Amino acid sequence: MAGTKSHGVQQVILLLLVSVLLWQSQAQAQSCSTQLSNLNGCAPFVLPGASNPSPECCAALGAVQQDCLCSTLRISSTLPSLCRLPPLSCGTN
């Protein structure tokens, strides 16, 4: 019976750990989403022929965590294949 009781405690602890990790992951995703939405002011500066970014754009970009930005770029680079389109091949200009 003691083995069953400790097994139940282990399951409860595991469930709590998984719950905390899921909550933390959702909080990080929400934070990243908020950080990225603040980059809307940078949209005019990513078009061909655009001028230098505004101080507001640079401040918003500086406030984005590197992991958030890198994950977003990595995810966006997979979109063409997910849409069954040819992969991106960008030249360096």
The predicted-structure confidence for 29-50, as pLDDT tens digits, reads as follows 678 888 888 888 888 998 889 9
92 located within any domain: no
Higher pLDDT, 82 or 18: 82
Total tally of structural domains belonging to the chain = 1
Asked if the structure places residue 90 within a domain, the reply is: no
Whole-angstrom Cα distance, residue 51 to residue 44? 8
* pLDDT on residue 59: 94
Q: How many CB atoms lie within 10 A of CB 49?
A: 4
CA within 13 Å, CB half, 87? 6
Task: State the Cα–Cα distance between residues 89 and 80, nearest whole angstrom.
Answer: 11
Query: Do residues 35 and 64 make contact, with C-beta atoms less than 8 angstroms apart?
Result: yes
pLDDT for 61-83, tens place per residue?
999 989 888 888 888 888 889 89
Range of the domain at 79: 4-83
Give the predicted TM-score (pTM) of the model: 0.57
Please report the pLDDT score of residue 21 as a whole number.
45
In a domain, 50, yes or no: yes
Q: CA 39, 44, 45: angle at the middle one, nearest 5?
A: 80
pLDDT over threshold 90, residue 56: yes
- Assigned domain for 93 exists: no
> Which residue in this structure is represented by tokens 């997910």?
82
Domain membership flag for residue 89: no
